[in-house]
Amino acid sequence: MAKVIEGLYYSESHEYVKIEGEFGYVGISDYAQHALGNVVYVDMPDVDDEVEAGSEFGAVESVKAASDLIAPVTGVVVDKNEALDDQPELLNQDPYQNWIIKVELSDKTELDNLMDAKAYAAFCEK
């Protein structure tokens, strides 16, 4: 049973966003890392790049699969988790601790389009 954390917002493509003030930390859910298997590479955007809700901003690769990362929110990348460059397996170990990018949100109302923990848990059940 995949772990879902309260207080985060989730997308149907299994990204989450954790809000801290004007910023959102974006990563992939526990369900997503399970489905992918051993992550061997995370393709991340550069700081100052813009990401747009619903558009891809990178990819997560395992040995036999690759999955695009779809931004759950729109904004500017202010930080990326460089630890993932050397240790992509961190995503398997704890995907919620190990966010992928930090985004300065341009429109907080976009969060309304995402699921809360309960809705997402139900979504994964399906």
81 contributes a contact to other proteins by CB under 8 A: no
Which residue, 61 or 116, has its beta carbon nearer to other proteins?
61
Alpha carbon distance 95, 107 (integer Å): 25
126 contributes a contact to other proteins by CB under 8 A: no
> Would the CA dihedral through 20, 99, 81, 47 be positive or negative?
negative
Q: Minimum Å distance from CB 74 to other proteins?
A: 17
Which residue, 44 or 103, has its beta carbon nearer to other proteins?
44
From candidates 12, 47, 52, 66, binder to other proteins by CB under 8 A: 66
Alpha carbon distance 89, 86 (integer Å): 9
Q: Minimum Å distance from CB 15 to other proteins?
A: 18
Which residue, 36 or 124, has its beta carbon nearer to other proteins?
36
Which residue, 9 or 45, has its beta carbon nearer to other proteins?
45
43 contributes a contact to other proteins by CB under 8 A: yes
In sequence order, what are the residues at sequence separation of 6 or more whose Cβ sits closer than 8 angstroms to the Cβ of residue 118?
Answer: none
**Tokens 């907080």 belong to residue:** 108
Beta bridge partners of 9: 17
Contact 56, 50 (CB under 8 A): no
Alpha carbon distance 10, 121 (integer Å): 10
- Number of residues written out for the chain: 126
95 contributes a contact to other proteins by CB under 8 A: no
Given the rule CB under 8 A, which residues bind other proteins? 38, 40-41, 43, 49, 59, 61-66, 68, 88-89
